[in-house]
Amino acid sequence: MRNFSASSGSPFVIAELGTGHGGDERKARILVDEALGSGADCVKFQLVYADEILHPNTGEVPLPGGNIRLYDRFKALEMPLGFFADMKAYVEGRGAAFLCTPFGLRSARELRSIGVRMMKIASPELNYDALLDEVASYRLPALLSSGVSLLGDVERALSRFEGVETCLLHCVTAYPAPAEDYNLNVLESLSAVFGVSVGVSDHSLDPELVPALAACRGAAVIEKHFCLSRSDDGLDDPVALPPDQFARMVESVRRAAKDGPEATEERLRGIYGRETVKAVLGDGVKRLAGAEKANYERTNRSLHALRDIAAGEAISRGDIAVLRTEKLLRPGLPPRYFERTIGRRARADIPAGEGVRFEDV
């Protein structure tokens, strides 16, 4: 396991496969082979249990075959733990690092049980206190994505990982994310303020612009979605890089680490234009990016009712959960209010799925 430090040389490159394998172990192995052949140091999966992420009433997503409930889409992505144990063995057998994102306590504990060597927290879970505490307790190297978050959210999350080797991944939670929203000068700001390694989880479509500039600003880690083809049916395939594009990204990142910031930025200005490079670098102030402002408090976790709760009923532990809100439902209280909400009586009817607000209890 390498240290998340820019001084260790060229950035650590993660190929995010997510759930793009569709549950097909043969395709998963092909994805791993292609990602490693394209220069990735690490291959990342996602361990999905729909009930850990959202409520069945969350709403629908448009797919080529028609609209489908987002909950059902996640439900279809659930895989037995043995699948991930096999993938871990396969990836590590190839000499690469295995990484997998949990979305709740069950998935985190299952990953721990198969002997993972590092952990990753996705941006929407950066405010999920119980999950952060669980993962921090493992004392494993951890990567935390910081999309759709404010500086205070980042500080609160990192405070739970004191004494744990941690890398903070700057991110824009939009799919795709405009490269001009990345404000990569914030990497140096975050590193200076929090004293941790920093990197980028990049959802922009271009294979070179954001990753290479991030390497110039001290990124120790570069994460990018990987696919066999953008026309495949994985949830993230439309914003992922196919093998040739991913290989181009890796080559550009390695070159940037070798050439240094001045030469790299001048080269990229010649390709993309001076104003574009300036916009991507930004002013270094941590704020919500334009493309993700509407997602704040909706992509992040909050308290939601698991059933219809009638006015006057006492709220029990099994009545609420820490979930993503997404588009249709209303956001609830931040996860840190979970314990304080238990035992309180509902002031008004709270429909199943809706957020539990201050005025509701």
Lowest mean pLDDT among 6-10, 91-95, 152-156, 316-320: 6-10
**Nearest to 171, CA basis, from 60, 51, 300, 264:** 300
More confident residue, 66 or 161: 161
Where are the domain boundaries for CATH 3.90.1210.10 in the chain? 297-360
Q: Which residue has the tokens 């991110």?
A: 171
How many other CB atoms are there within 10 angstroms of residue 10's CB atom? 17
Sign of CA dihedral 7, 250, 184, 135: negative
The correct answer on CATH 3.30.230.70 for the domain covering 297-360 is no
Residue 2: pLDDT band with limits 50, 70, 90:
low
Q: For residue 341, is pLDDT > 90?
A: yes
Banded pLDDT at 1 (limits 50, 70, 90): very low
Least confident of 50-54, 80-84, 130-134, 235-239: 235-239
Q: What are phi and psi of 330, to 5 degrees?
A: -90, 145
3: left (phi over 0), alpha (psi -120 to 50) or beta: beta
Whether the CB-CB separation of 144 and 121 falls below 8 Å is answered with yes
Give the model's pLDDT for residue 63. 60
* pTM, rounded to two decimals: 0.95
Q: Which two tokens stand for residue 338?
A: 């979970």
pLDDT tens, residue by residue, 276-321: 999 999 999 999 999 999 989 999 999 999 999 999 999 999 999 9
Q: What is the pLDDT of residue 235?
A: 83
Query: If you average pLDDT over residues 132-138, what whole number do you get?
Result: 98
* Distance from C-alpha of 154 to C-alpha of 171, rounded to nearest angstrom: 12
Mean pLDDT of the residues in the chain: 95
Which pLDDT value is given to residue 313?
97
The DSSP-derived string for 260-284 is -HHHHHHHHHHHH-HHHHHHHH---
Residue 343 has pLDDT above 70, yes or no: yes
CATH superfamily of 6-288: Aldolase class I (3.20.20.70)
Residue 7 clears pLDDT 60, i.e. is over it: no
CATH 3.20.20.70 residue window(s) in the chain: 6-288
Which residue's entry shows tokens 């409930």? Answer: 69
- Asked if the model's pLDDT at residue 60 lies above 60, the reply is yes
Task: Output the pLDDT for position 65.
Answer: 61
Residue with the bigger pLDDT between 70 and 169: it is: 169
Three-state DSSP class for residue 225: strand
Q: Which residue has the higher pLDDT, 61 or 112?
A: 112
Decide if 304 contacts 327 (C-beta within 8 A).
Answer: no
Cα separation, 49 vs 14, in Å, equals 23
Instruction: Give me the amino acid identity at 297.
Output: E
Q: Are 155 and 196 in contact (CB under 8 A)?
A: no
> Do residues 198 and 167 touch, judged by C-beta distance below 8 A?
yes
Over residues 49-72, the mean pLDDT reads: 86
pLDDT for res 233:
82
Helices (H) and strands (E) in the chain, counts: 13, 12
Residue type, 57: N
Respond yes or no on whether the N-terminal peptide bond of residue 207 is cis (omega within 30° of 0).
Answer: no
Rounded Cα–Cα distance for residues 221 and 232 (Å):
26
